[in-house]
Amino acid sequence: MSWADLLPPFILGSSLLPGLVIFFLPESRRTLRTALNLASACLKLVAVAVLMAVVATGGQPRWEWSLAPGFDLALQADALSLLFVTLSAGLWLVTTVYAIAYLEGAPQRSRFFGFFSLCVSATVGIALSADLLTFLVFYEILTITTYPLVVHRGTRRSLAAGGTYLVYTLSGGVLLFVGTAWLTALAGPVDFASGGATVDTLIHEHPGALRAIFALLVAGLAVKAAIVPVHGWLPVAMIAPAPVSALLHAVAVVKAGAFGILRVVYDVYGVQAATDLGVLTWLAGFATITILFGSLRALVQDDLKRRLAYSTVSQLSYITLGAALATPLALTGAVVHLVHQGLMKITLFFCAGNLSETLGVRRVSEMAGVGRRMPWTMRAFAVAALGMIGTPPIAGFVSKWYLGAGALSSGDGWALAVLVASGLLNAAYFLPILKTAWFEPARKAWPVSSGRLETSWMLLLPPLVTAALSLLVGVCAGVDASPLAWAGRIAREVFGP
Amino acid sequence: MTSLVLYPLAGVVALALGLAGLVTRPHLLTKVLAFNLMATGASLLLVGLGHDGTASSDPVPQAMVLTGIVVSVSATAVALAIIARLSRLDPDGVERSD
Amino acid sequence: MDGPVTASVGWLVAAPLAGSVATFLLRGRRGASEAVLLLTALAAALATNGLVARIMGSGPYTVEIGSWGAPAGIEWAVDDLSAAFLAVALPVWIAATIVAHGLLHSPRSPRDARVFRKEPGPTARTFWPLWLLLWGGVNALFLSADLFNLYVALELAGLAGVALVATAGVLPALQAALRYFFANVAGSISFLTGVALVYHRYQTLDLQLLRSAAESDASTTVALALLGAGLLLKAALFPMHAWLPRAHAAAPAPVSAILSALVVKAPVYLVLRLWLDVFHVALPPSVLTFVGALGAIGIVWGSARALRVERLKSLIAYSTVAQVGLLFTAFPIVHAAGSRDARWGLVFLAVGHAVAKASMFLAAGGLARAHGHDRLDQMTGFGAREPLCTYAFGLGGMSLLGVPGTIGFSGKWLLATSGLEVWAVPWVVAVSASALLTAAYVWRVLAIAIRSAPEPAGTRPLARRIAWSAFALAVLTVALGLGSGPFVEPLP
Amino acid sequence: MSLAAWVFDGTLTLTLVVLGWGAVAARDPFTGIVRYITFGLMAALAWARLGAPDLALAEAAIGAGLTGALLLSTLGRMGLRQASRRAGEALGAAPRAPTPLPGMAQAWSGLVLGLSLAIAAVIGGVARTLHGRNGPGLGPLVDSLRETSGIDSPVAVVLLDLRGYDTLLETAVLFTAVLAVWCLGVIRFRRPPWPVDPVLASLARVVTALLVLVAAYLLQLGLHGPGGGFQAGAVLAAAGVLWTLADRRALRLGESRLARIGLTLGLGAFLVAAVIPMLAGRSFLTYAAGSAPAWAWVLETFIAVSVGLTLTALFMGGLSEIAEDEAEERAP
């Protein structure tokens, strides 16, 4: 039990404990709350960096805790989990800064930041979980702790949205629960490190059961991964405050679903078993439908956040498609898209938040000439939007490139066609926004910003940072520490050198 | 086959009558009567089954039934106290206990 | 075998009864009765600590009362099952006692305390003695290993429960108390008839001896049916549940907490003990399928009713009907799997419900006192006013739901895995899917809490200790969920 | 067995069943109560026939006597208005809200009765197979243990020593009953001078003294024959009931400190008997060697006193306060 083994629980606790403290802070203690938030975010980032160093030198930290007979929690750091933890930790810091500014003067902030920390702890738990049971535990906790954030405003509409969110995610939770219990009953504890060894032993006696279990697991995960037909909650949940939509509904919650599908396909079943059972074709089918459906729906949405939500629905299924194609290049594309899409989408939501917070602009039709009033926000929005469409050298292009190459290498030409079509649809619903924002005259006089900047610096800095990151990650994708290189290492681990 | 077998059987019949009375009769006092009847029936069964008139009677069921009688009278007293209080607060409710 | 350490188990029954006599003679005088309550809690804590330490050290053991031993004398049996329930009963009792004290001694209505005397409701003079008698009765129930002794303990706990429900004094409470009384007494007599048949069939009433002597024949089956019917009526399994919701809603909040958490749980524990442990040889499996089906209907029925009632305490009471149904759907799994994990799964579920339900009722008591009523439609936005009570209710609800991290999840997980090993699919689906129904009524209340609304008139500040003890119990569900591993490992 | 035994047992059991059904199916509660009291006396006879004198005494004194007194007192307290109005009512149907289909009430009662009798048939069938099959049960074992315990009467040795814990819980149940009755509030009676019936007053004085004497006799008899604490207590309670009826001042029982201590004597004594061995390291309720008869005597006496006071308090039906004036008597 070297000190490194304590790193995963430390990372988990670095946001959990301050979160519990924040719950009981009276509303008036603003500075202490902000200090706690930022300190825990930075501490987590540092701890993740240390963990990365340990894993890079070949360490395999693993920590276990027995909850009951035959029921142990286990946290472990392998390459895939590190990628997701780094993404979560990094974006949590940025979003915390943004949330502090966004919620200035709002009621119940202690409750908000308490649950906000719990959410991130759950996401980190999902990332670092070493077996399917631990994943299920944190997956369910994430569902429960996200609800109070979705309904934070306490209005009738937000409660209705919260209700829809619960119906979807809890039903998904039950499916995942039954699937995990069934697999554990058949094969004992399902460890991720085994890379599908547990399932290989069963594939001959219980092929039917394994297919049913795969269906249950993926159905449960599909809810959070917003795969059609269980994606309905995501656009509705956009009523939540911007930081929640940004971090949770663009990064943490939805990525948990996609991350889970990657784990199930590659670490629970293993590529060989999954292809033998023939379940991947179903997965690819649903992913394709979602990609096209999401993009089509996004075209007709006038509300900016709903359009971004449908864009998320579509973009997420790139990861699922990549996973389903089961080739090294496609897997690299899927894993790297996990990071790139996170960076780009959070930028877009930050900008959307800025527009609604500063100018009260929520609809695309109201965005005429907003580029002149808030130039920096719209520049970040433009970078992220172009990235989403796939224009080089922004991050989106890299992941689409690898996904396309993966599709070709496995002979699924149709997948490349889907990606291209989706790229065109992305352009169809992002470019008009840029056009109205930059090239149309402002229809009404925007309220002049009081300070030197277009809005408070804590609202402006996060989108700029994430936009710069999207650019940076795209430009120096070849660098060894880049997400692409990291994804390549994961793919090599899975498929062998 | 001694005639003493009639007592446990009578006890069981009393149990059944008590149960029927408890469930169907609306008047609360009749319900109290009914459950006392059931208690006595069960006690008759408990003692009656052990006694076939030959050897000395078994004291253990007798002690248990003695305890049962005292417990029944305590229960009856509690029920009657509640009924008395109810009849003062809701005079007509005493019969129509749905 | 019964050295000084085991002698400490006797305090679990002697201390509360002695405390009851003391508080009666002190006529509820302030200061003195608090001292007695403290002493009783301390004695119970020491006894429970000794009991848990002993069982983790050297496994299950029995204490012969009067050193006579079976079959002549009566014995107390302490094994993993009874130790789990007794260990959890202690914090529930302590928290409920603190809340009862808080509610009893802070003036009830906005008018001054003088009015307090005239308003119906419990007075310290008779409340504390009855409260401690119930405490002794429940402990006696979990300890006893003799069938007739269980009958007397069931009668003691039932009568004390009825009296405590009636202490609320208002008309609905009295009617509810009477319905509870008749259901309770019918159950006791059915149980007594079963005892009579068992005694004359096996010449003993000691559970240990019966376990070895049990055979499957007509008289044993009828005896089991009678014992079971009595206990199922007391556990309020559907369709014999009609008495529970009114009684648990009308009683003062701490009383409802104890009734739902422990008094309803004892018959479930006894059915588990009699049907699956002592007489499992003589039990036809079709009976368990029937009871499981009734339980499943109970879940749906309780949850559906809970969604429509207007009062918070009625909602929680109907939730008890649903959760008891859930426990009984788990019985077929425990019987079929027969594994240690399945048994612990059911124990976790039952124990988790006890703590969670107690925290929810205590929170409801606090909210009712703060608002002067507990009608849900007029309490909107209580989350902002009473955050601690809301977190207590919410966390308790999460444990009922089986959210991971709480003990509810550990129970459901162990039941699901062991159930699927023996292909008891319908029951596993019932246990898993019940979470959705539970979620419906828990979030119905939480949505009312979170909704931002102006503060209604007549709300009063709540004694802090009430909110904190409710919250402490809710946190206990998480502590049990995360920390019960090391305790449970060494037990058989 | 001889024909005479069959004839006697047959008629007695038949009477029991008929009286039982009569009590339950009576049109008005008063007739029901009277039939129930007779049923109780017949049951006492049945206990005697089954060779259980202790039970016969207890059934007569408590089962028939005191329960009947409680029922009649409650009926009275419910007010004559209701009792009379109910007298003429049809079977079971409440006048104000007649059930939609009068036939329904009958059909429902018939169905439940049928079901109950079916259950009874099953239990009876099984009971027949068990009747007398195992001989005297635990009787011989109890006799062998009597020497070591030291208490002579078999029932007393089971009640106070072998299964003493049952009796402890039983006194707790009695104590619960008093608390329950007292917590249900105050029963007010008109201020004296209560029109004292001279015959009742003089009768009460004489009979009370007699009953106390009988109780004392039963108490000392209990250690080596039928009788004992509970029976003596019941007879004391009879004296108490009579005293309450004769002299209203008795109603102030609740306030006197002595009475309160008396009520807790039974449970208190048993708790002391249970706790002392624990302090001395022995198991719960284990009397020191040879001290069982002494403890039995102490417990019997305390039980007699507390049962007497408890049953009297139950009969009074609440913490009695003398009503200030006529109007308040009806107040809740």
Dump pLDDT digits (tens) for C80-95: 889 999 999 999 999 9
- pLDDT of the residue at D227: 66
- pLDDT of the residue at D322: 54
- pLDDT of the residue at D226: 67
Q: Is the pLDDT of residue D91 over 70?
A: no
- pLDDT of the residue at C310: 92
Q: Which of the pair, D196 or D285, is modelled with greater confidence?
A: D285
Name the band, by pLDDT with cuts 50, 70 and 90, for residue D82: low
Looking at the domain assignment, is residue C427 inside a domain? yes
Looking at the domain assignment, is residue C21 inside a domain? no
**Across the interface, do D52 and B12 touch by the CB < 8 Å criterion?**
no
Q: Is the pLDDT of residue C197 over 80?
A: yes
> Considering only CB atoms, which chain D residues are within 8 Å of B31?
none
- pLDDT of the residue at D325: 46
Q: Where are the domains of chain B?
A: 3-94
> How far is residue C276's CA from residue D332's CA, in Å, rounded to a whole number?
49
- pLDDT of the residue at D258: 85
> Considering only CB atoms, which chain C residues are within 8 Å of D173?
152, 155-156, 159
Looking at the domain assignment, is residue C428 inside a domain? yes
Dump pLDDT digits (tens) for C120-146. Answer: 667 778 899 999 999 999 999 999 999
**Across the interface, do B78 and C175 touch by the CB < 8 Å criterion?**
no
ipTM at complex level: 0.89
Q: Are D252 and D187 in contact (CB under 8 A)?
A: no
- pLDDT of the residue at A55: 84
Residues of chain B numbered 11-50 and touching chain C (CB < 8 Å) = 15, 18-19, 22, 28, 31, 35, 38-39, 42, 45-46, 49-50
**Across the interface, do A144 and C403 touch by the CB < 8 Å criterion?**
yes
> Considering only CB atoms, which chain B residues are within 8 Å of D94?
26, 92, 95-96
Question: From the list C166, C179, C196, which residue is nearest B46 (CB)?
Answer: C196
**Across the interface, do D78 and B94 touch by the CB < 8 Å criterion?**
yes
* Mean pLDDT, residues A151-156 taken together: 88
Dump pLDDT digits (tens) for A451-462. Answer: 777 778 888 888
Question: From the list D123, D175, D260, which residue is nearest C222 (CB)?
Answer: D123
Q: Are D65 and D308 in contact (CB under 8 A)?
A: no
- pLDDT of the residue at D328: 40
Question: From the list D58, D115, D173, which residue is nearest B74 (CB)?
Answer: D173
The residue segments making up the domain with residue C368 are: 300-492
- pLDDT of the residue at A266: 87
Task: For chains C and D, count residue pairs whose Cβ atoms are closer than 8 Å.
Answer: 169
Burial class for C415, CB neighbours closer than 10 Å (0-12, 13-18, 19+)? buried
Name the band, by pLDDT with cuts 50, 70 and 90, for residue A174: very high
The alpha-carbon gap from C71 to the nearest alpha carbon of chain B, in Å, equals: 11
- pLDDT of the residue at D243: 83
The alpha-carbon gap from C285 to the nearest alpha carbon of chain D, in Å, equals: 20
Dump pLDDT digits (tens) for A31-89. Answer: 888 898 999 999 999 999 998 888 888 778 888 888 776 678 899 888 888 889 999 99
Q: Are A253 and A146 in contact (CB under 8 A)?
A: yes
Q: Do chains B and A touch (3 or more CB pairs under 8 A)?
A: no
Q: Is the pLDDT of residue B37 over 80?
A: yes
Pairing mode, if any, of strands D186-189 and D319-322?
Answer: parallel
Dump pLDDT digits (tens) for D162-187. Answer: 888 999 999 999 999 999 988 886 65
> How far is residue B19's CA from residue D117's CA, in Å, rounded to a whole number?
9
Dihedral over Cα of D324, D325, D330, D332: its sign: negative
- pLDDT of the residue at C3: 46
Whether a cis peptide bond, with omega within 30° of 0, leads into A229 is yes
Name the band, by pLDDT with cuts 50, 70 and 90, for residue C231: very high
Looking at the domain assignment, is residue C374 inside a domain? yes
Q: For chain A, give the percent of residues with pLDDT over 90.
A: 29
- pLDDT of the residue at C110: 46
Task: For chains B and D, count residue pairs whose Cβ atoms are closer than 8 Å.
Answer: 301
Q: Is A68 on the interface with C (CB under 8 A)?
A: yes
Distances (CA, A) of A167 to A179, C382, D101: 18, 24, 45
- pLDDT of the residue at D203: 84
The alpha-carbon gap from A135 to the nearest alpha carbon of chain C, in Å, equals: 10
- pLDDT of the residue at C475: 93
* Mean pLDDT, residues D151-163 taken together: 84
Of A171-180, C240-249, C447-456, D7-16, the least confident: C447-456
Q: Is the pLDDT of residue C400 over 90?
A: yes
Q: Is the pLDDT of residue C1 over 60?
A: no
Dump pLDDT digits (tens) for C296-343. Answer: 999 999 999 999 999 999 999 999 999 999 999 999 999 988 888 888
Backbone angles phi, psi at D150, to 5 degrees: 100, -10
> How far is residue C136's CA from residue C124's CA, in Å, rounded to a whole number?
18
The alpha-carbon gap from A156 to the nearest alpha carbon of chain C, in Å, equals: 7
Whether a cis peptide bond, with omega within 30° of 0, leads into C239 is yes
- pLDDT of the residue at C470: 93
Dump pLDDT digits (tens) for D178-231. Answer: 999 888 866 566 665 566 677 888 888 888 889 889 888 888 877 666 667 888
Structural domains counted in chain C: 1
Q: Do chains C and B touch (3 or more CB pairs under 8 A)?
A: yes
The alpha-carbon gap from D244 to the nearest alpha carbon of chain B, in Å, equals: 17
* Mean pLDDT, residues D81-107 taken together: 50
Q: Is the pLDDT of residue D88 over 80?
A: no
Name the band, by pLDDT with cuts 50, 70 and 90, for residue D89: very low
CATH architecture of B3-94: Orthogonal Bundle (1.10)
Q: Is the pLDDT of residue D249 over 70?
A: no
- pLDDT of the residue at A139: 94
